[in-house]
Amino acid sequence: MRNYGRMFLAALIALALFCPGATAAEQAKITIKMATLAPKGSNLVNIYEKLAEEIRIKTDGEVGFKIYWGGVQGDEKDVIRKIKLGQLHGGAFSGSGLGEIVPEVRVTEIPFVFRNHREVAYVRERLRPTMEKLFEEKGFIVIGWGDIGFLYVFSKVPLSSLEVARQQKWWTLEGEPIGREMYKAMGISPISLSVSDVATSLSTNLIDCASATPYMAVAFQWYTRFKYINEYPSSNILGAMVISKKIWDKISPQSRNIILDLARQSHGRIEEAARKEDEKCMKILLDAGIQVYRTDENIKDEEVQFIFDAAEKTRNNLVGELYSQELLDRTMALLDEYRKEHPEDTKVIRIE
């Protein structure tokens, strides 16, 4: 069955919009210190480095970026704390990290709601002004938004029923409210761990089920511990790069406009590259012998309905903790609006 976990932190490679070398940063008048959990080495890095260099050139050397890769500045909560202390200026974050600043942003990560990337994009774009205003009120500027990808459930055994699923040892990210509520609604007691503890916990059988994007599963080599991947994903993971308003206000208005324009122009290229990475990693998974567990063929209709009911309960239970009822209603209304305007778009993302 499909489930919801928060394994998207490593996929922040799709959000590191600016990746300059140290020399370029040193030559700039204003050096913005950024941190990300993303490892250096993806094909996406080339796109980001070109974008960062273009920003440096078009701002006449006013703005440069120094990026701390691979989590050397700590996890997302650590980075946010350092930004508030002035030790860093910004970072590339997943929805989980962004939610530490603006909880409302998590409303588009609710499980088992969005059928494909187009639905996600439609809703997020229309909520974007609201979210950017909320971030600015908290002292942050959103430089660029990203779609990290869809989460799939990985397991060591076929998840042939709710009973079997409840017998497994599921992982959830420490302090993750959406995962907590979804597992609770499913009758599952997950094991809370940091991302850095997942690989060891899989090796020692402390956990045996988890959700991840294909890229994450390959990047962290988690897939070597699994035998199955579920046919359908559970949710789409949001990401964004944000910087402190304090340093943003030191940049000239002209350069600020240049940065935002270049970032938004590159949005499509970056997301396309990220999806290609996911596609490539999915092929690696299947070539390695990971078997696709076909939900439609193996799970009873009443159990599928139970999952969707649990997802509805999850999003309702998070009202007041992450977002308001008004914002949840608006999100669902936008999704309904898209489906009415695009009746031909009934495709549900799945592993073919």
pLDDT tens string 99-147: 999 999 999 999 999 999 999 999 999 999 999 999 999 999 999 898 8
Residues 207-225, mean pLDDT to the nearest whole number: 94
Burial class (CB in 10 A: 0-12, 13-18, 19+), 326: exposed
Distance CA 116, CA 149 (A): 10
Q: Which pairing describes strands 291-293 and 140-150: parallel, antiparallel, or unpaired?
A: unpaired
- Given a cut of 50, whether residue 26 has pLDDT beyond it is yes
For residue 294, is pLDDT > 90?
Answer: yes
Q: What is the pLDDT of residues 315-324, one digit of tens each?
A: 999 999 999 9
Q: How far is CA 263 from CA 16, 145, 150, 258, in A?
A: 11, 9, 23, 8
At 21, is the pLDDT very low, low, confident or very high (cuts 50, 70, 90)? very low
Per-residue confidence (pLDDT) for residue 337, from 0 to 100: 99
Q: For residue 43, what pLDDT is reported?
A: 59
Please give the share of the chain, as a percent, with pLDDT higher than 70.
90
Residue 11 has pLDDT above 70, yes or no: no
Q: Tokens in use for 198? A: 């997942």
- C-alpha distances in angstroms, 293 versus 143, 233, 322, 335, 351? 39, 12, 32, 28, 10
**The model's pTM:** 0.88
Q: Strands, DSSP E only, in 49-203? A: 63-68, 90-94, 140-150, 152-155, 171-173, 191-193
Query: Over the stretch 147-159, which tens digit does the pLDDT of each residue have?
Result: 889 999 999 999 9
pLDDT at 207: 98
pLDDT category at 42 given cuts 50, 70, 90 is low
Q: What is the pLDDT of the chain when averaged over all its residues? A: 89
Task: Label residue 5 by pLDDT band (50, 70, 90).
Answer: very low
pLDDT at 68: 86
Q: What is the pLDDT of residue 102?
A: 98
Closest Cα to residue 328, out of 314, 311, 338, 315? 315
Note the pLDDT of residue 69: 81
**pLDDT at site 261:** 92
pLDDT in tens, 73-110: 998 999 999 999 999 999 989 999 999 999 999 999 99
Q: Which residue has the tokens 């290229």?
A: 269
- The number of beta carbons lying within 10 Å of the beta carbon of residue 166 is 14
Tell me what the mean pLDDT of segment 6-32 comes to. Answer: 54
Across 300-321, average pLDDT: 97
Is the pLDDT higher at 75 or at 44? 75
Compute the distance between CA of residue 148 and CA of residue 88 in angstroms, rounded to an integer: 23
Residue indicated by tokens 């009934």: 346
pLDDT at residue 314 is higher than 90? yes
The SS3 call for residue 28 is: coil
- Residue 242: CB atoms within 10 A of its CB come to 30
pLDDT beyond 90 at 67: no
Please report which confidence band the pLDDT of residue 19 belongs to, taking 50, 70 and 90 as the band edges. very low
Which tokens sit at 176? 């993750």
Q: Dihedral sign, CA of 235, 237, 238, 244?
A: positive
Q: How far are the Cα atoms of 75, 174, 192, 200, 303 from residue 196, in angstroms, in the given order? A: 9, 11, 12, 8, 33
Domains along the sequence of the chain with CATH: 9-148+237-278 (3.40.190.170), 152-234+285-341 (3.40.190.170)
Residue 228 pLDDT = 98
Residue that has been written with the tokens 């990401």 in this structure: 239
From residue 203, alpha-carbon distances to 173, 197, 212 in Å are 17, 10, 17
